[in-house]
Amino acid sequence: MDDFNGINFGLGTLPLLSNAKTRSISAENPKGDTGEGGREIPDASSPASKLGKGWKVRPCITLAKNSTTNIAEIKGPGIIQHIWITVSPISTKT
């Protein structure tokens, strides 16, 4: 069997180890830095305003129509394993 490179996932690779580094990229942590999620300070009008720093208060961003937005700032090579996207119910009506 070839060495597991940490890129090709599936149940068959579940017990295997690799030297690959994983990162979670989010609206709060676009660089995927270790320990940097949950750093957004909620504004006073936010439902999470009393939670304070350390909670996921900005898990997403709203993109304006026809806009360009950086969703990740990652140095070096890598592979995107999953992208989570939601849409407004209004945008799906025809």
CA-to-CA distance for 6 and 38, rounded, in angstroms?
A: 26
Q: Give the tens place of pLDDT for each residue, 27-67.
A: 888 888 888 877 777 778 877 778 777 777 777 888 888 99
Q: Enter the pTM of the model.
A: 0.57
CA-to-CA distance for 26 and 83, rounded, in angstroms?
A: 10
CA-to-CA distance for 1 and 18, rounded, in angstroms?
A: 14
